[in-house]
Amino acid sequence: MINGVDTSEIGYSILTNSSDFIIISTGQSVLQFANKSVCALLQKPDAELVGTKITDIFSEIGEEIDVSFLNTINSDNPFFSSTHNYHFSGESMWIKWEGTGFFDKEEKLVQILFVGKDVSNAVKNKQEKDNVIATLAAINKAIDMNIICTITDSKGVITYANEKFCEISKYAEAELIGKTHRIVNSGYHSKEHFVDIWKTITSGSAWTGELKNKAKDGTYYWVKSVIIPIKDQRDSITGYLSLRIPIDAQKKMEEEKLTYLKTIEDMLFTVSHEIRKPIVTCQGLLQLVKDKHFSKEEEENEVIPYLLNATIELDSYSRKLNDYLEKNIKNVGQRT
């Protein structure tokens, strides 16, 4: 007998030396027995614990006992289970408690057996798993908001298409699943270009580059793409992950830059040819006048009018050049 608890010698040894936390209390949760694991956990001897209320020792479990256990337990509902967090010597520990009630012939609760198990590792693993899941969910959300993402099987058939791809391509997910990326082929790139992509990824390497695609409504869009082979444990390719970033704004800037450079080239051609022509004419005539190849009458009737027309032509070209420079310098300032 242990404080009214009938146990055999073997049973007592098991209870006392168990690695689980074992407590026996009265129906009013007054502690009658605490095994070695409980004493070590609380850093108190059995004699000091006996007679105290569990609510005074374990405040967390005590609240649950009073509210959930003692008020609801009966012979048909003998089990109590809860998980609590304890802090001893600065160390965090999670313990899961299970309680069984024992009743007399009149169905009065006389004793409660509590068995606690250290589930700290399980809780930690769950928390780590939850953190990983939360992180992956955040990454997935960021991808859906900003990056076009698709997954295909080893033959290039789409098995997954995210919201961004549907938004950009104007296709519903159901229209994309089961299709290949030919569905958004714009016809801009050559067949050889796609053959090169396929050779790269089927060899196990990732491919990166720019692609011009065509949406369902006929509009075109540019993407910067990376296609990564997905491999199993035997290093066999099972599918492909494609990540794409829309770069329409970048491509538009590149086109504007090319147009700007072409205009510069045209202007330089004008400067080197059209403007140079009247200048050379003026220089030649003035040299002839200087060398006195013309009479005074010829100078007045022919040379001077010719020079005047050349200067007018030169002035017109210089105005056009000035207007062009002012316009483009202003545009450059706005772009920067």
Domains in the chain, start-ordered, CATH in brackets?
Answer: 9-119 (3.30.450.20), 147-246 (3.30.450.20), 251-335 (1.10.287)
Note the pLDDT tens digit of each residue in 206-253.
999 999 999 999 999 999 999 999 998 888 999 999 999 888 877 777
pLDDT of residue 122: 80
pLDDT of residue 26: 86
Place of tokens 């007399």: 104
User: In the chain, what percentage of residues exceed pLDDT 70?
Assistant: 68
pLDDT of residue 230: 93
Note the pLDDT tens digit of each residue in 141-170.
777 777 899 999 999 999 999 989 999 999
pLDDT of residue 154: 94
According to DSSP, the residues that pair with 137 across neighbouring strands are none
Whether the pLDDT of residue 177 is over 50: the answer is yes
pLDDT of residue 332: 47
pLDDT level of residue 85 (50, 70, 90 thresholds) = low
pLDDT of residue 328: 62
Whether the pLDDT of residue 334 is over 80: the answer is no
User: In the chain, what percentage of residues exceed pLDDT 90?
Assistant: 28
pLDDT of residue 185: 95
Tokens coding 274: 């059209």
Instruction: Give CA 215 to chain center in angstroms.
Output: 25
Among 272, 172, 169, 269, which residue's Cα sits nearest to residue 223? Answer: 169
Whether 118 and 95 have beta carbons less than 8 Å apart is answered as yes
What is the chain's alpha carbon radius of gyration, rounded to the nearest angstrom? 44
Helix (H, G, I), strand (E, B) or coil at 235: coil
Note the pLDDT tens digit of each residue in 286-308.
766 666 666 666 656 666 677 77
Distance CA 317, CA 323 (A): 10
Mean pLDDT of 175-203: 95
What number of H helices and E strands is found in the chain? Answer: 13, 10
Dihedral of CA 29/31/36/40: which sign? positive
pLDDT of residue 336: 46
pLDDT of residue 107: 78
